Amino acid sequence: MGDLFTEGYSYPEEVVNMDITRIPYPDSHFDLIICNHVLEHIPNDHQAIKELHRVLKPFGKAILQVPISNKFRETYENELVVNPKDREREFGQYDHVRIYGQDYSTRLKAGGFVVEKLNLASKYPKLGLNPAETLFIGTKP
């Protein structure tokens, strides 16, 4: 398990301090990666996606969840927005750097993934899954 350590927080010893744009593991290391609501915080998400692909074994799976706007065809980014209050206004949260649009699959494919979209809410109604949230599963060919 990895996270970019933030001052003032404590982390269990099994959590590795890492930058997702420079993952400290060799190529083809993991069978499965779960990256849940991380990429919207990363200024260079293209590099992060490439790194996730790099450390995944061939035929490995990556669950790559981000908040996605159904209203935007294309991802909205503005690197000039750096103030936390401005980011909250523009991106919905003070530490987000973009709002992903319907082009999210295309961004994952550009990083090398084969992308499958899966919605399990109707299949497992007792789990309380959000029917509006689709799982994005990337496979390394």
Domain ranges of the chain: 27-139
* Mean pLDDT, the chain, integer: 96
What pLDDT score was predicted for residue 67?
Answer: 94
Cβ–Cβ under 8 Å, residues 77 and 104: no
Burial state string for 20-47 with b = 16 or more CB within 10 A and e = fewer than 16? bbebeeeeeebeebebeebbbbbeebee
Q: Is the pTM of this model over 0.75?
A: yes
CATH number, span 27-139: 3.40.50.150
Could you report the per-residue pLDDT of 4-38, keeping only the tens digit for each?
Answer: 898 898 999 999 999 999 999 999 999 999 999 99
pLDDT at 72: 97
Tell me how far CA of residue 133 lies from CA of 5, 41, 122, 130, in angstroms: 28, 19, 11, 5
pLDDT band per the 50, 70, 90 thresholds, residue 94: very high
Q: What is the percent of the chain where pLDDT is above 70?
A: 100
